[in-house]
Every structure is written in C-alpha cells, then in structure tokens.
Amino acid sequence: MRWPALLCLLLPVACGSSSGDDILSVNLLPAGLTEALFGTGEPEGEWESTPAEPADGEPALRLSLGSRRGVAVLLQEEGERRLWRTPGGVAVATDGARVVATAGLRQVLAATRFDGTDLLARLPELGEGQWRATRVVDLMRSASDPTRMRFGVRLDCRMTVTPAAVEDTLLVTETCRGGATFTSQFWADARSYAVFRSEQWVGDDLPPLVVEVIATRPPVEIIPLPR
C-alpha cells in the first residue's frame, strides 16, 4: 500500500484528485480536510481528561501539548511511515521518530519535506557529533483561513548528538532557524538508536508536542529450521 492511501484513512476528502506521492509534499492541504476529520462545527480535536491506556501490546503514543494529554493508537503503517489518532480526533503522521504532519490542533503542520534524508533516520551511521540539515514545512490554521496559511517555510537546522544524563541514552538536540526559531529534543536508546521520547516543534504559537512511545510491535522471532 502506498503512503497516500494511508492518509486516506484520516483524510478522505484529500484522496479524490491526488496522485503519486504528493500527500506529504504538497504545498496546500486540501480544502475541507479539517471538516472531514472533525465536522464543520469545531475543527480542533478534543483532549481526554484521563487518557485511556491502549490494549496490551497495541502500538501507541502518549501525546502531550502543554497541559493537554492524549493516547494515539496506530491506524496504519508502511515501513517507517505511520498514522496515529486519539479518540478525540488529534492525529499525527510520523516518519520514523519525526512528526511530519498533524491534524486536530489549533495550527496544523500540513507537510514536511527534507533536503536529502532526515538526519534522525541516520543516527546509527552518524553516531555522536554535530550536523546541519534543511527542511521545508507548510503550516495552516485549523480554521482553513487562506490568509493564515504559510507555505514553503524554510528551516535551517543544526543537530547535535551527545550522551544523555541517563545511562545508555543519547540526547539529540535540533536547533532550527529561518522561517521559525525553535529547539526540538529526542531521546534514543544508545544501543538500538530507537527514539523513545521527544519534544517536537509542530507549529508557531504552540508548545512543543511531547511524544512518548508506550508500546511498539514486538520483534519477529526467527526460529531456525533443523538441518
């Protein structure tokens, strides 16, 4: 299944005329997207006062935005690209550990494009040190007011990987400037390089989105056949 087809699970009206791999790289989020997700009355998702835990073994993320909390379960995946959604309608699309699109927030991260490969995906080969990268994002308000949309926001970022205070943990600090200025942080297992917690920028005038991995799919057990 191709990635645009995965987004159709969340964004049904976006799939009528889209083609190819343009869903996460388009310059304009399709009109009617928020209405399709949340109805015409209130486009923002609702946060649970007491988020319910997922079923045992079910892949899920714990999301925090300021004082608001929610648990997002996995809807669909293709490789490292995944779609997650809370019962209240807050949704995130991730590529690896990176949140690349959101829905149900006051401001929506509509698209993310990288100049080359996302450095987060290269942690095993990069190891500790400092690197620079560029990415471009599209932002829009959940009310879909064209005057409040920002397309092609260029971000020049510096990523630093150092040992964290916790043993066997790496801290990835990403400082970006350009169309927006912010710092995101990622905590990864120093042995597997798997990111288990992050605080990510997802738009102007919003606190960092805290993403914590609650559960992932267990590794497939390989049983050798007798010779």
**How sure is the predictor about 56, in pLDDT bands with cuts at 50, 70 and 90?**
confident
The pTM of this model reads: 0.77
What are the distances in angstroms from CA 122 to CA 39, 112, 118, 133, 161? 39, 17, 7, 12, 11
pLDDT digits (tens, 9 = 90+) for 147-173: 778 999 999 999 999 999 999 999 999
Q: What is the pLDDT of residue 205?
A: 87
Tokens 């929610």 belong to residue: 70
**How sure is the predictor about 217, in pLDDT bands with cuts at 50, 70 and 90?**
low
Residues 6+ apart with CB under 8 A from 50: none
Q: What whole-number distance in Å separates Cα of residue 227 and Cα of residue 130?
A: 48
Neighbour count for residue 160 (Cβ, 10 Å): 13
Q: What whole-number distance in Å separates Cα of residue 194 and Cα of residue 127?
A: 13
